[in-house]
Each structure stands twice: as structure tokens, then as C-alpha cells.
Structure 1
């Protein structure tokens, strides 16, 4: 094994290379914001359309606003994917997901029993707060340089 082959990653295991590429992809976008928004949309869309059994008791959550909760859930899932793949519109997606989470409280069974509401709210807040990072070499100022570009007198 030569140093040259190690530098290019020729002998790197497939899973390690895949994980490294995923980490690079994840670091360039609001990944956790999108994930929380996706996880918030699922219970909001799912709970009004299901029946749960607790022993002999059947609990049906079908409400008259089932279509509204489905639309809110699908929009939240779409906004989560938007945060991942079109991170330029992250502020719009964050504000929209916060508004949809707030709207889901009265419409979709308390926002998917508050679980979907909290996930969507956290995802929207993370999306608004996320800012793209700078490359390592551009982030570090040159040694000895002052803030305005002139050298200090000493």
C-alpha cells in the first residue's frame, strides 16, 4: 500500500466512502431541519385516517378535517424535501413549516397529538437558523492582517 493510493481513497471501504459522501452532502444543507419537518408531517397526515385498537376498544380518529390534515402533512413532507434539495429557499420553507405546524393544532387532531406539531415547529426553526458554512481556508484570516485589510502598526 503506497501513500499515493491512500491519498486518493483507492483502498477505502465502500461503506466508509459512502458515509463520507453522505456527511459532505449533509453538511451543505439544513439536514436536521428537513428531517424534523418530514417527521412532523407524517403523524399529522396519518392519525386522522387510522383506527387504533386498545384491547377491545377501537379508537377512530376520523374527523371532518381529514382532508385538511392530509394536505398539511403532505405539504410538511414536501417542505422537508425542499430543505434538503433546494436549500436556497430554506427561510421560506422554515416559515411555511412553522405556519403549517401552527395551523395543524386546530385542524389535525392537535397537530398529530402534539408530536407532529413539535417536530414541524423545531424543523422550521432549525431551517431558519441554518446558515451555510464557509470553506476552511476562506474562514481563517491571514496571520498579521487587521480587520480592515491594513497591517497593524504594532
Structure 2
């Protein structure tokens, strides 16, 4: 920045974007998002019918209600990661376990479209740790810094 640079005025969008970035940084945002995205195919795919020409293939099984419950629970766990960040370890482990259970209950984890995001989201939630605020230190003068080492020089003269 030069001395002639004027600060840009902050409009509503810039302020909203900055506050969303701050909100996102204080919680396992990406883990919750991946976990919620995992719930959608697990809920949706087992209730669909595919048509190939005149052939109709029903994907629903007797465990359709189990798929619906697993999908809803994954979405609730994703929201829990966002709004109750202190229970992130529980929510992450539960998301991983529900992803594994969906492998059996919901058409191979809704054809792996739900299993893999549940694993990634649960892992991100378990491994997330809140950041520490940056501490401002007063400027240290040259007397506070030790002098450069005066040992033998590595440069050949």
C-alpha cells in the first residue's frame, strides 16, 4: 500500500462475506458440509426408479426406511458440527459409523456417493481444532535481538 491509497468503503456484501468467513473459521465448517452432502444421496437413491428404455429398475429395498434414517442423521450431525462445535468429535465418529452402516443398508452406501463424503466429513470434524488468536507483541528493538553468530565463515575468500 502506498500513502496515496485510499481504503475502499465496505459495502453490505463485503461485510457479510467477512462475517461469514469469521463464523466459518470458528467451527469445523467443511466437515459439516461434507457430512450433510453425504446424507442426500443416501436418502435419495434408494427410493428412485431407473428407466432404461422399457426396462424399469427399482432401487428400493426392504431397508428403505433405514436409508432414510441414516441420511437424516447425517444431515443432523453435519448441522451439529456447525452449531455445536464442542461435540465435533462425537459427531465425526458418528458420521463415520453411519457411513459404514450405509454400506450395508443403503445400496453400497448409495453407490459410494454417500459413503465417501461421510468418511471425509467425519474425519475432518474429528481432526479439526480451534485456532488460537494471534497475539500482538510489542516491537522489539535491536538490543533485544542477539547479534549474528560470529563463528567461522562458510564462504571461501
Settle same-fold status: TM greater than 0.5.
yes
Count of matched residue positions in the alignment of Structure 1 and Structure 2: 137
**Paired residue for 2:73, among 72, 75, 80?**
75
Q: Structure 1 unaligned runs (5+)?
A: 1-5, 144-154
Partner of 1:102, secondary structure, is helix
Moved more, 50-59 or 79-88: 50-59
More helix by share: 1
Q: Which residue of 1 aligns with 2:98?
A: 100
Task: State the partner residue of 1:150.
Answer: none
- Give the drift of 1:54: 3.4
Deviation at 1:59, TM superposition (A): 2.3
Matched, 1:34 2:32: yes
Cα shift at 1:55 = 3.9
Deviation at 1:53, TM superposition (A): 2.7
Report Cα offsets for 1:73-98 as digits up to 9, x if no partner.
00000000000000000000000000
The structure with the largest alpha-carbon Rg is 2
Q: Which residue of 1 aligns with 2:144?
A: none
Q: Secondary structure at the match of 1:115?
A: coil
Question: What CA RMSD, in Å, does the superposition of the two structures yield over aligned residues?
Answer: 2.4
Aligned with residue 117 of structure 1, among 100, 115, 118: 115
Structure 1 length-normalised TM: 0.81
Cα distance in 1 for residues equivalent to 2:57 and 2:134 = 55
